[in-house]
């Protein structure tokens, strides 16, 4: 039976929400394709041992993730309720960090063990941008960015370009999942857990020496950029904040826009400061540089080349309708 | 991470910067930033591939910052792994040990970082916002969610940079470059017919979505997934039982549903088109 593999990042001692979204998409696909759905999580184990021949050591029944027994049970239960058929736990002596250099050797062991036909990552999961494309390159797979599951019987995964992966396709595919269908929680918590303990630690060529909070201007997530004129209209300001909540995005703008209250003090962007978020929703004509956005949607403007969406007409009603549409998803 | 760094003596990295196969979507600011970052190393070479108009622009921007330029002329439209093969071929010719990739100018390019690293058997680092050479080591800062990671790089690496140059409103139309070194695929040891297996179908032109429903559908794949109120974390898409469950929704995905359909062939069918289709939403 074909394997659909979902990489699970941990958020503390729980599966990351984006990984669970990928698991939901994987469940839909695996059910449609008649495949087995594996959820794989990499955990740090400084005492990991390997067999003398270099192959993974004998499986042990410990399923250790940070947080103790209750956290272990929670992760296992969450993955079971998310629809996983089997759970793979990979132990690595490397410290867990969202880097290929840290996780790659352990992840490679999962790929070799399962030889999956489809590998899914949550598009916003911490290590997805490092592991997803490298996984695709390693197995020579097609790569789909910000794809969603489409269909209820013959489910396919489709990205925003219209490219898709279907049950009958040949070759492997790697998918960064941006949206998933709504699924009922699964009730069977008693699912198999497979433990791998491959040899090797982190790639010493990449040395992580520290972390600190990033500035908002460096974000690679979603942003809403609002113009000074739009920010001073109370209806627009309210609708903007509602859309921001629905998207899970920050609202940025100039210092002038901040005086209207819709832009938080820490979200003031200087006019020449470059932004390169994955998505920017521009409201009016923001006084910030949004040309580096991966995807650009304009509200209150006609759009043009390089714009993925544009809504003309009154801004506040359009924003409210958009927020309503997203809140229902 | 506490692993020891490699002990063999390392040489200062020889740098190439991959500018990609198409011009920036909206601004050349990030292109300039990548070139400027490469210029810090000295002796860096800028590489682009694709149509001559784009190659001339890439060469013009590189030469303005004192970098040599190489253009690979080809009409092929390739996927991430295809373009990585092209750049890897150039890197071999140059003897480049470290490759910077301008990953901000076009959203699809960040995947080429990993593909290049795989082909060159190099370390990889994506989402780098600051970089500084230091003899045989490179210091870099990268974005990981809401965290800024500080990293030291030892040895061969492919580094995806999102570093902006100065703001620029307009720039002169580049003239055909006389100094750019032009290569074809054969010169890189690549067979266009073989490389064509990584070809992408021509894309329909992207007109902006102009209705609430279509814009919302587009935004939905960028929504931050919500953590479920349940501490166990049922899928963010999971409903709370208030609406249609599997029994109420034919075709809803369940493990039982999988079993019911297990008789379906799940192996890939030969000749299937896979991602070849280009369909609107």
Digit-coded pLDDT (tens) for B212-243: 999 999 999 999 887 654 434 344 443 333 33
User: Residue A257 corresponds to which tokens in the numbers above?
Assistant: 């826009």
Checking if the pLDDT of A182 tops 70, the result is yes
Average pLDDT, chain A: 89
For residue A13, the model assigns a pLDDT of 81
Q: Which of B1, B26, B272 to mutate to test the interface with A (most CBs of A within 10 A)?
A: B1
In this predicted model, what pLDDT tens digit does every residue of B100-152 receive, in sequence order?
A: 999 999 998 999 999 999 999 999 999 999 999 998 999 999 999 999 999 99
Among the listed residues A201, A202, A256, A248, the one whose alpha carbon sits nearest the alpha carbon of residue A224: A248
Question: How far is B43 from chain A, CA to nearest CA, in Å?
Answer: 23
In this predicted model, what pLDDT tens digit does every residue of B7-24 receive, in sequence order?
A: 455 677 899 999 999 999
Question: How far is B144 from chain A, CA to nearest CA, in Å?
Answer: 6
Kindly state the average pLDDT of the residues A133-151: 95
Q: Please name the residues in contact with B149: beta carbons below 8 A apart, sequence gap of 6 or more.
A: A97, A99, A208, A210, A211, B141, B142, B143
Q: Which residues pair with A7 in a beta bridge?
A: A40
Question: How far is A229 from chain B, CA to nearest CA, in Å?
Answer: 22
> With bands split at pLDDT 50, 70 and 90, how would you rate the model's confidence at B205?
low
The answer to whether residues A61 and A217 touch, using CB atoms and an 8 Å cutoff, is no
Q: Which residues pair with B134 in a beta bridge?
A: B137
Checking if the pLDDT of B262 tops 50, the result is no
Q: Which of A106, A143, A206, A306 to mutate to test the interface with B (most CBs of B within 10 A)?
A: A206
Q: Which of B163, B275, B276, B277 to mutate to test the interface with A (most CBs of A within 10 A)?
A: B275
B227 contacts on A by Cβ (under 8 Å):
11, 17
- CB-based contact A180 B235, cutoff 8 Å: yes
Q: Which residues pair with A212 in a beta bridge?
A: B148
Question: In the 8-state DSSP scheme, what is residue A292?
Answer: T
For residue A48, the model assigns a pLDDT of 56
Taking phi over 0 as left and psi of -120 to 50 as alpha, with beta for the rest, A140 belongs to left
For residue B40, the model assigns a pLDDT of 96
A208 contacts on B by Cβ (under 8 Å):
1, 149-151
Question: In the 8-state DSSP scheme, what is residue B3?
Answer: P
* Total residue count of chain B as it appears in this document: 281
Among the listed residues A97, A94, A83, the one whose alpha carbon sits nearest the alpha carbon of residue A45: A94
What gap in Å lies between CA A246 and CA B213, rounded to an integer? 15
Task: Extract the runs of DSSP E, i.e. beta strands, from chain A.
Answer: 3-8, 10-11, 14-15, 36-44, 86-92, 118-122, 142-150, 156-158, 164-165, 173-179, 192-196, 206-213, 222-226, 250-252, 279-283, 295-299, 309-311
- The complex scores an ipTM of 0.91
Task: Name the pTM for this structure.
Answer: 0.87
For residue B267, the model assigns a pLDDT of 33
Domains of chain A plus CATH, in order, are 3-196 (3.40.50.620), 216-327 (3.40.50.1220)
For residue A24, the model assigns a pLDDT of 95
B31 contacts on A by Cβ (under 8 Å):
none
User: Which of B:227-246 have CB within 8 Å of A?
Assistant: 227-228, 231-239, 241, 243, 245-246
Kindly state the average pLDDT of the residues A136-159: 93
Question: How far is A257 from chain B, CA to nearest CA, in Å?
Answer: 21
Cβ of residue B29 closer than 8 Å to a chain A Cβ = yes
Kindly state the average pLDDT of the residues A23-36: 95
What DSSP line would sit under A200-225, residue for residue?
Answer: ----TTEEEEEEEEPPGGG--SEEEE
What gap in Å lies between CA A36 and CA B64, rounded to an integer? 55
For residue A71, the model assigns a pLDDT of 65
Domains of chain B plus CATH, in order, are 15-198 (3.40.50.620)
For residue B252, the model assigns a pLDDT of 46
Q: In the Cβ-directed half-sphere of A216, how many Cα atoms lie within 13 Å?
A: 17
Checking if the pLDDT of A56 tops 60, the result is no
A181 contacts on B by Cβ (under 8 Å):
237, 253
For residue B212, the model assigns a pLDDT of 96
C-alpha distances (whole Å) from B90 to each of B94, B184, B185 are: 6, 10, 10
> With bands split at pLDDT 50, 70 and 90, how would you rate the model's confidence at A5?
very high
| B256-271 burial: b if 16+ Cβ within 10 Å, else e | ebbeebeeeebebeee
Collapsed DSSP state (helix, strand, coil) of residue A112: helix
- Burial (CB count within 10 angstroms: exposed 0-12, middle 13-18, buried 19+), residue B149: buried
Lowest mean pLDDT among A37-51, A134-148, A221-235, B16-30: A37-51
Option in A151, A163, A201 nearest B275 (CB): A163
């Amino acid at each position: 039976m074909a394997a659909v593999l979902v990489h699970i990042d941990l958020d503390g001692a729980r599966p990351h929400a984006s990984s669970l979204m990928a698991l939901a998409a994987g469940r839909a696909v695996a059910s449609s394709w008649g495949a087995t759905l594996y959820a794989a999580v990499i955990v740090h184990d400084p005492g990991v041992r390997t067999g003398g021949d270099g192959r993974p050591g004998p499986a042990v029944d410990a399923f250790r993730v940070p947080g103790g027994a209750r956290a272990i049970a929670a992760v296992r239960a969450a993955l079971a309720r998310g629809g996983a058929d089997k759970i793979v736990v990979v132990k690595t002596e490397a410290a867990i960090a969202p880097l290929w250099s840290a996780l790659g050797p352990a992840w490679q062991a999962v790929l070799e063990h399962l030889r999956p036909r489809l590998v899914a990552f949550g598009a916003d999961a911490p290590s997805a941008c490092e592991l997803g494309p490298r996984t695709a390159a390693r197995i020579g797979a097609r790569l789909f960015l910000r794809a969603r599951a489409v269909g209820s019987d013959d489910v396919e995964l489709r990205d925003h370009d219209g490219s898709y992966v279907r049950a009958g396709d040949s070759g492997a595919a790697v998918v960064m999942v941006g949206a998933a269908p709504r699924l009922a929680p699964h009730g069977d918590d008693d699912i198999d857990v497979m433990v791998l303990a491959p040899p090797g630690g982190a790639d010493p060529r990449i040395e992580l020496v520290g972390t600190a909070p990033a500035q908002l201007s460096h974000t690679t997530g979603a942003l809403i950029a609002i113009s000074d004129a739009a920010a001073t209209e109370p209806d627009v300001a309210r609708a903007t904040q509602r859309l921001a909540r629905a998207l899970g995005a920050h609202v940025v703008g100039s210092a002038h826009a901040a005086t209207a209250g819709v832009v938080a003090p820490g979200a003031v962007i200087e006019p020449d400061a470059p932004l390169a978020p994955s998505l920017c929703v521009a409201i009016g004509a923001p006084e910030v540089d949004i040309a580096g956005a991966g995807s650009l949607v304009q509200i209150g403007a006609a759009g043009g080349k390089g714009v993925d969406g544009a809504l003309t007409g009154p801004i506040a009603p359009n924003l409210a309708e958009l927020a309503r549409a997203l809140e229902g998803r | 991470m506490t692993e020891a760094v490699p002990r063999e003596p390392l040489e200062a990295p020889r740098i190439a910067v991959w500018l990609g196969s198409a011009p920036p979507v909206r601004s050349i600011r990030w292109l300039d930033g990548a070139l400027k970052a490469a210029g810090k190393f000295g002796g860096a070479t800028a590489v682009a591939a694709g149509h001559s108009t784009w190659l001339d622009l890439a060469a013009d921007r590189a030469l303005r910052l004192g970098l040599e330029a190489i253009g690979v002329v080809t009409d092929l439209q390739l996927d991430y792994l295809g373009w990585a093969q092209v750049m890897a071929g150039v890197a071999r010719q140059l003897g480049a040990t470290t490759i910077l990739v301008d990953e901000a100018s076009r959203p699809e390019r960040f995947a080429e970082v990993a593909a290049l690293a795989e082909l060159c058997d190099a370390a990889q680092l994506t989402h780098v916002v600051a970089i500084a050479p230091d003899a045989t080591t490179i210091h870099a800062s990268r974005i990981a969610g809401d965290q800024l990671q500080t990293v030291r790089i030892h040895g061969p690496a492919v580094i995806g940079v999102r570093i902006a140059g100065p703001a620029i409103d307009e720039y002169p139309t580049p003239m055909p470059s006389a100094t750019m070194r032009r290569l074809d695929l054969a010169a890189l040891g690549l067979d266009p017919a073989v490389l064509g297996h990584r070809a992408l179908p021509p894309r329909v032109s992207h007109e902006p979505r102009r209705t609430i429903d279509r814009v919302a559908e587009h935004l939905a794949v960028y929504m931050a997934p919500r953590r479920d109120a349940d501490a166990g974390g049922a899928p963010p898409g999971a409903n709370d039982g208030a609406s249609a469950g599997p029994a109420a929704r034919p075709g809803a995905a369940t493990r039982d549903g999988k079993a019911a359909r297990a008789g379906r062939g799940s192996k890939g069918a030969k000749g299937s088109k896979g991602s070849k289709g280009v369909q609107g939403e």
